Amino acid sequence: MDFEHADALNQAIRLLSLRHRARAASLLAPLGLHPGQEALLLELTRTGPMIQAQLSEALGCEPPSVTLMTRKLEAGGHIRRTPAPSDRRASIVELTDSGKALAEQVKQLWCALAEETVGGLPAETVAELPGILKTLTGNVDTRRPHHPGGAGTV
Amino acid sequence: MDFEHADALNQAIRLLSLRHRARAASLLAPLGLHPGQEALLLELTRTGPMIQAQLSEALGCEPPSVTLMTRKLEAGGHIRRTPAPSDRRASIVELTDSGKALAEQVKQLWCALAEETVGGLPAETVAELPGILKTLTGNVDTRRPHHPGGAGTV
DNA sequence: GCATAATAGTTATGCGCATAACTAATCTGT
DNA sequence: ACAGATTAGTTATGCGCATAACTATTATGC
């Protein structure tokens, strides 16, 4: 691949992250959330109570990040951490009622953001997009074993 | 748009940023660069000497970020900042010889990263990808006036 | 049963990015 | 020509993310 194409792609990915994150930040700010925290709330909504190691895996970020995120969300009263009875090292993380209510609001914003994001694209492209992005992600994911032929986990 | 689709999209964008950046970090580390700095070097390669305000615009990040990036790259000997003769507020930023050499290495990595990133996708999709990503970016870009109908600035 | 390895979580530290508040220089209107 | 607005850049501070080093607990091999 020639440099111009490569550069266009890499730069486009970098700018998309910056802008999408910034837009998410401006939408989440009125709820008192910083971008990244919404992912934790939504994961708990999807999967239910889980320990931090599972959150770390699900969110794709490292344990120390989870420590900080959970601490702040706990301080805000949105989640609760209770020692796991079966494993005294682990904490079970779960949503409080306030957290559940907040997650519902986040869901609304999330839909609005997604619609805003794909505005002007043909429906066909929009339908393919998550699969394409997951393929890209899998291709550069140094965490997992590798996902070699991955034409999309759609 | 229903929540599942919206969530899939937003989450895919978030994960792609994390992973693409992490992969870039691991490729750039041997050159002594942190991700983000390569963008500044490449921009100077593309456009030539420019002042920080132009860099801020071109890179899509805020002036204080440019201050820090330029300071570190200057400390590393890769760029040089000289006062602009016509405007005593501004600094002209330009690559040193070392910086030019480094930028050439970054270009190699950049091509390799892009190829790795799009692995397994049909050529057709790869060709469309930068345009699609730019459309997405434009849709959530709160910096510019707005880019409403934007079906792609390809 | 006990030394060793593996795992859950935390703290410390550093980078990139942001916003807010500031200084210094340039531009503008009257 | 001079007051006020704009612009270039910096410092201070805070968040999300990372890695490295650490503690406490649980699992494993002999």
- Residue A90 CA to chain centroid, in angstroms? 22
CATH of B3-119, picked from 1.10.3720.10, 3.40.50.300, 1.10.10.10, 3.40.50.2300, is 1.10.10.10
Q: Where are the domains of chain A?
A: 3-139
Q: Does B133 touch chain A (CB under 8 A)?
A: yes
Q: Does A68 touch chain B (CB under 8 A)?
A: no
Q: Which residues touch strand D (CB under 7 A)?
A: A 34-37, 39, 60-62, 64-65, 68-69, 72, 87-89; B 18, 22, 51-53, 56, 63-64, 66-68, 70-71, 81, 84, 87, 89-91
Contact call for A120 and B149, based on CB within 8 A:
yes
Domain A3-139 has CATH 3.30.1330.30: no
Least confident of A15-29, A37-51, B20-34, B135-149: B135-149
Taking the C-alpha atoms of residue A96 and residue A81, their distance in angstroms, rounded to an integer, is: 10
Contact call for B119 and A139, based on CB within 8 A:
yes
The model's pLDDT over A8-27, given as tens digits with 9 standing for 90+, comes to 999 999 999 999 999 999 99
Query: If 0-12 CB within 10 Å is exposed, 13-18 middle and 19+ buried, where does residue B4 land?
Result: exposed
End-to-end CA distance of chain A: 26
Identify the DSSP state of A31: G
Q: Which residue is nearest to nucleotide C25 (CA to C1')?
A: B89
Closest CA to A6 of B114, B123, B20, B59: B114
The model's pLDDT over A78-113, given as tens digits with 9 standing for 90+, comes to 999 999 999 999 999 999 999 999 999 999 999 999
